[in-house]
Amino acid sequence: MRWRCMAQTAILASRFYGTGACTVKLACPHQFTLLRMRITSMRGTSHDMMRLPLFTKAHGTTRRALNRSPVGSTFRFLATASGTGCSTSSRTERPRRSLFSVPGADQRFITKAQGLKADAVVLDLEDGVAYDRKHAARDLVQQTLLDSSQNFGSAELCVRINGLDTRDLALRDLEAVLPCNRLQAVVLPKVESASDVLFVSRMIDAFCEDRDVRIIAAIESAMGFLNLREIAETAKDETSKAKLDALVFASEDFCADIEATRTESANEMLYARSQLVIAAKAFGLQAIDMVHINFRDLDELKMECEGGRQMGFTGKQAIHPAQIDIINDRFAPSTKELDFASRTVQEYEQTTTNGQGACVVDGIVVDMPVYKWAKKIVERAAKAGML
């Protein structure tokens, strides 16, 4: 299984680096056979290629041979053709009402995040880190993941890597964080195609073996939206174990990309936000809404949370501690909503047992679609610990 992943990663990595043709033949596990990979036009040096995690994870002898090989060599790998993925439906859902972004270059922020109640803490290596601090941030985030005395409570521990368009930065981020046992999800920014997600899932498969590390994809460009369906559809990809689990709408990069003017009403993003919710729901994914950038205005945040929830978002990004509790609260069902939903479920189930197809709760007709909606509210409340 591991070798198979490496083989796939090799192909992806070679494409990623802008290399030429590579032909691959996978054989049975006990044979030392053929993975012929001819690197015809590699952009980086031989050393760059060897630094790829795939090679650093290779068996010692293989690795030594690879390290001696010049560009243009034909490589031989041991590869197996076995292994299957697991489907999204069989996995437990992780609550992600609040996805809290913590700049990865600053220990002060990382320490602060440990006492907060975010559902997911995202240690950021991307745009929350200045370019000249990228290496230091990567080291600090790796240390944080390795040091279990840094306790984030029940929060899901995630890392936002640099976008795959940065090539070297992104690969080094993955190489640094994927082996860390406490990592639970990779937030992949600026996703524009299914192959972006598939590349990262292969890397996770190769590095994380049986650990359940998931992918959260941020959609931030016109191209990302044009390819949204194929991106979301990777959640059903059976060839890899690591899966896409959520889509995130990234408002600021999106507006910059399409040259929209950011307004208080956020009308300029309505279409894209709706599209994201629809694509996410079609493939069983969570939909996580944009950052509220006017972060000191908490009343405005409450309204934005309401709007997002009404559209079907399941959570929202946070960038400041004061936003977390409000987001958690607004993305859990309200007491009133839960009360109505619970009674709706009970009444409807009673009604159908009695052979009828609809009933009335608080003056509202409850039929199958309303029942389904109410069931989801009750399920969400249970996940938020309200029941």
Cα angle, residue 221 at apex, residues 216 and 225 outer, rounded to 5°: 75
Map tokens 């990309």 to a residue.
257
Pick 127 or 337: Cβ nearer ligand COA = 127
Q: Which is nearer to Mg ion, 233 or 253 (CB)?
A: 253
Site for ligand COA in 251-310 (CB under 6 A): 291, 295
Strand residues in the chain grouped as ranges (E) = 98-103, 120-124, 156-160, 185-188, 214-219, 244-249, 286-289, 315-318, 359-361, 364-366
Phi/psi at 174 (5° precision): -60, -45
Q: Binding residue for Mg ion (CB under 5 A) from 253, 257, 268, 329?
A: 253
Name the 3-class secondary structure at 88: helix
Q: Measured between alpha carbons, how far is 365 from 358 in angstroms, rounded to an integer?
A: 7
Active-site residue, 367 included: yes
Which CB sits closer to ligand COA, 211 or 320? 320
Tell me which amino acid residue 230 is.
E
Using CB atoms within 10 Å of the CB of residue 76, give its burial: 0 to 12 exposed, 13 to 18 middle, 19+ buried: middle
Q: Is 64 in the site for ligand COA (CB under 6 A)?
A: no
| CA–CA dist 284, 246 (Å, integer) | 9
CA distance 333 to 322: 20
- For Mg ion (CB under 5 A), the number of binding residues is 3
User: Does residue 321 bind ligand COA (CB under 6 A)?
Assistant: yes
Near Mg ion by CB under 5 A, which window of 31-39, 56-64, 232-240, 243-251?
A: 243-251
The count of residues interacting with ligand COA (CB under 6 A) is 15
Residue 48 touches ligand COA, criterion: CB under 6 A: no
250 binds Mg ion (CB under 5 A): yes
State the minimum distance, in angstroms, from the CB of residue 385 to ligand COA. Answer: 24
- Could you give the CA distance from residue 275 to residue 271 in angstroms, rounded to a whole number? 6
| C-alpha pair distances (Å), 159 with each of 102, 135, 144, 176 | 9, 14, 11, 11
> Considering only residues 191-230, where is the footprint of Mg ion by CB under 5 A?
220
173: number of Cβ within 10 Å:
25
Token pair belonging to 129? 């880190």
Q: How far is the CB of 188 from ligand COA (least distance, A)?
A: 14
- Compose the 83-112 pattern: x for residues touching ligand COA by CB under 6 A, - for all others: ------------------xxx----xx--x
Interstrand relation of 286-289 and 359-361 (parallel, antiparallel or unpaired): unpaired
Which one of ligand COA, Mg ion, none is in contact with 79 (Cβ closer than 5 to 8 A by kind)?
none
> Which C-beta is closer to ligand COA: that of 127 or that of 329?
127
Nearest approach, Cβ of residue 279 and ligand COA (Å): 21
Comparing CB distances to ligand COA, the nearer of 175 and 220 is: 220
Summarize as ranges the residues that interact with Mg ion (CB under 5 A).
220, 250, 253
Active site residues: 367
Q: Which residues are at the interface with ligand COA (CB under 6 A)? A: 101-103, 108-109, 112-113, 124, 127-128, 291, 295, 319-321
